[in-house]
Structure formats: structure tokens, C-alpha cells
């Protein structure tokens, strides 16, 4: 999606790990796939293995440090699109529910008012189709599985996200329907503002098209 001497941004396919697997380091991950083509890379942030979309990597140690500072200072804006089971009664919603990672026997992130860390997600409904909705999610914090856990807590689990309670859906998708749609930040060296938008991967595009075809007048 973007490359210069300091940065590399890709539209990560679903199924590719951001970091090496702890049990089998030989499995493909971002650096093992990209470094033969681009040289030494530094991971700046993560996406779940099955989440598709834009992800940033640094090409120098200095860019890595500066981007880490930007993420730590919450000076990076990330936007996700999630296809959920259910139809929200609201158009816009702010979710402010503390989350505890690895909070139950299934190692899920769960809402925990006493032990959880602050977590805020802004939600906006983009479309509705008879029992499903496409939601824009803007996380203001970076908790593990934050969007998945917050949507599940609202009774709107992401399509095909079996870990967080989505039953088998009629939508043709074999992984959680979560896509990192865009990222906005200031370039660490040029200081130019950048916004990178990742097209949907074909599986999510097909799921959305099937819903549109079945509900041509919905939205």
C-alpha cells in the first residue's frame, strides 16, 4: 500500500500472523514473508491472525522508535470495519467498558469493571441488512481483542467470530469479519500527515455483496 525508505504499509491477508508463532516459529509471519523482499523490518503494531487490513512496519530503528512513541501517545487513528450478527437500534455508540485480557477459561478478553483496563471504542453503523450490520469501529485504546470484546458485550458479535459468541451464519465467510480499514498518522521523518485505506479482501467483499444482493433496498 505504501513504501519509502522509512516505512512499509501492507494490506495484510487474513491468516497471516503479525508475529512468529510461539509454538512453531517456522510458520509464516509478516517479517518472514516481507524481509526477503524489503530487508530488515520492525513490527510497530499488531493485528489478529485472521484480521485483514492495513498494518504498518518500520524500515529503520529510528522510524520504529518514533512510531512507537506515536502509538503510545495515541497520536495514531485506526478505523476498523466489522460485519456483525444483529441489528443495532442506534446509529452511533460510544462504548466505555474496561477490559481484562485472558479473563476466562477460553482466554478471551472480557468486560471486568473491577480488574479491567480502560477501553473506549466509538461505533457507527454504516449499513444494515436483515439481521446483520456493517459497523465502523474507532478504538481509542489498544486492548487485546478490544473491538471483538466490546461488540460481543453489546450483543453484536462479529460474523464468524466463534470465540466471542457468533453462531454459524449464512454469510459465506470462514474467519471473523473484521478488517483494519484505515490508519492515519504523521510520517516520522517528513512530518506529512498520511491516511492509508485498505480495500476489503475478496472473502469479506463477497460476504458484503451477498448481503447487498439479498437486501437490495436495505442500508
Instruction: Note if 203 is an active site residue.
Output: no
Q: For residue 176, give the nearest of 55, 88, 79, 53 by alpha carbon.
A: 53
Contacts of residue 178, defined as CB under 8 A and 6 or more positions apart, other chains included, come to 48, 50, 51, 52, 80, 81, 82, 147, 148, 158, 161
* Burial zone of 148 (CB within 10 Å; 0-12 exposed, 13-18 middle, 19+ buried): buried
Query: Which three three-digit cell numbers place residue 31?
Result: 517479517
3-state class (DSSP) for residue 65: helix
Contacts of residue 82, defined as CB under 8 A and 6 or more positions apart, other chains included, come to 134, 135, 137, 147, 151, 158, 177, 178, 179
Four-point Cα dihedral 132, 134, 138, 142, nearest 10: 60
DSSP element (H, E) containing 136:
strand 132-139
Annotated catalytic residue, options 48, 69, 91, 96 = 48
DSSP element (H, E) containing 209:
helix 202-214
Strand partners, 11: 54
Catalytic site positions:
48
Amino acid at each position: 500500500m505504501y513504501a519509502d525508505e522509512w516505512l512499509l504499509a501492507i494490506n495484510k491477508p487474513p491468516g497471516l500472523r503479525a508475529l512468529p508463532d510461539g509454538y512453531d516459529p517456522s510458520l509464516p509471519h509478516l517479517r518472514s514473508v516481507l524481509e526477503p523482499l524489503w530487508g530488515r523490518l520492525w513490527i510497530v503494531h499488531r493485528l489478529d491472525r485472521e484480521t485483514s487490513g492495513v498494518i504498518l512496519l518500520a524500515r529503520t530503528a529510528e522510524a520504529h522508535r518514533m512510531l512507537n512513541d506515536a502509538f503510545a501517545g495515541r497520536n495514531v487513528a485506526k478505523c476498523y470495519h466489522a460485519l456483525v450478527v444483529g441489528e443495532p437500534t442506534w446509529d452511533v455508540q460510544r462504548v466505555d467498558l474496561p477490559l481484562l485480557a485472558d479473563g476466562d477459561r477460553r482466554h478471551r478478553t472480557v468486560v471486568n469493571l473491577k480488574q479491567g483496563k480502560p477501553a473506549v471504542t466509538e461505533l457507527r453503523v454504516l449499513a444494515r441488512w436483515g439481521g446483520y450490520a456493517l459497523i465502523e469501529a474507532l478504538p481509542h485504546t489498544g486492548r487485546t481483542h478490544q473491538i471483538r470484546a466490546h461488540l460481543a458485550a453489546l450483543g453484536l458479535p462479529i460474523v464468524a467470530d466463534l470465540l466471542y459468541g457468533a453462531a454459524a451464519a449464512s454469510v459465506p465467510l470462514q474467519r471473523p469479519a473484521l478488517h483494519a480499514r484505515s490508519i492515519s498518522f504523521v510520517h516520522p521523518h517528513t512530518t506529512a500527515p498520511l491516511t492509508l485505506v485498505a480495500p476489503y479482501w475478496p472473502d469479506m467483499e463477497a460476504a458484503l455483496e451477498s448481503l447487498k444482493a439479498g437486501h437490495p433496498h436495505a442500508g
